[in-house]
Amino acid sequence: MTIEYPSERWKDYALIDSGNGEKLERYGSIFMSRPEPKALWDKTMSQDKWDAAIHTRFRPGAGFGKAGKEESGTWERLRRMDDQWQIGYKLKDGPAMALRLGLTSFKHVGVFPEQAPNWEYIYSSVRALGGSPKVLNLFAYTGGASLAAKAAGADVTHLDSVRQVVTWARDNMERSGMDGIRWVVEDALKFARREERRGNLYQGIIMDPPAYGHGPDGEKWKLDELLFDLLKTVGHILAPRDSFLVLNLYSNGYSAMLGETLVRQAFKPGPGAVIESGELALRDSYGKVLPLSIFVRMKR
């Protein structure tokens, strides 16, 4: 198992400090404080210095602690800032991606910076395949992974169940000077099953499923109940050779070994397959490591 971090080349993002259930981050020129349940240690900075640095702080609201709504709340603005702003991420040996950010009622801002190593893996994997391989990005959010695949020349299908999020991803594509991504607003499992019936195959599949969610027609998604079914279905639409898979999981209690076992059981990879798993983490400026998700990657 490996632990991977965003490259120090990325100057538009930094985890400044973490502790006491919070994290202090910088996105471009904007500093913010958000709840972080995994930051179980003490803050290194004093609370006064922490408060003096931030433009905005997220306050958990009525949904806090409720399944599927645990991250709802409001932002308290302490200093002048725009409602939306942009940061960049330059792929290693590749072009720069533009990512629009904004404050949402679910604590998110439009990017998960710990995903940068996955973006690099996707970019290099597509380039290694050559040509215009078909890549499917499920639960694709605002499209960092889709942009990485497109930048490498892939024919990308970007799927999310929330139309506003897909619109956000399209904006990121246009800001990045790219075009041609296929946009789909649908339930991920329903789409994958339909692609299986049609016999469609992809050379790359990316999945970042949430713990809970809803499809556009009210379909209910619960990770513990549906993940293995989704993986088995995806196993039928991932090309058996010259292909790659990226699975990312945020759910508390899921380990890299659990994720790897799920992939091995769902895909039954042959002897030539290469599978790696590990954790994606951020390191604050004081050296404290904050693990945030687990990943499983497969090439065959």
Domain ranges of the chain: 2-85, 112-299
Give the span between the Cα atoms of 257 and 254, in whole angstroms: 8
**pLDDT at residue 106 in the model:** 84
**pLDDT at residue 191 in the model:** 97
**pLDDT at residue 6 in the model:** 98
pTM over 0.85: yes
Give the span between the Cα atoms of 293 and 110, in whole angstroms: 17
DSSP secondary structure code for residue 91 in this structure: P
DSSP secondary structure code for residue 114 in this structure: G
**pLDDT at residue 273 in the model:** 95
The per-residue pLDDT string of the chain (300 residues; one tens digit each, 9 = 90 and over) reads: 799 999 999 999 999 999 999 999 999 999 999 999 999 999 999 999 999 999 999 998 755 444 445 567 899 999 999 999 999 999 999 999 999 999 998 889 999 999 999 999 999 999 999 999 999 999 999 999 999 999 999 999 999 999 999 999 999 999 999 999 999 999 999 999 999 999 999 999 999 998 888 888 888 888 989 999 999 999 999 999 999 999 999 977 899 999 999 999 999 998 899 999 999 999 999 999 999 999 999 999
Is 112-299 a CATH 3.30.160.20 domain?
no
- CATH value of 2-85 in 2.40.128.20, 2.60.40.420, 2.60.40.1180, 2.130.10.10: 2.60.40.1180
**pLDDT at residue 64 in the model:** 46
State which amino acid sits at residue 223. L
SS3 assignment, position 78: coil
**pLDDT at residue 62 in the model:** 59
Q: Sign (positive/negative) of CA torsion 238, 239, 240, 244?
A: negative
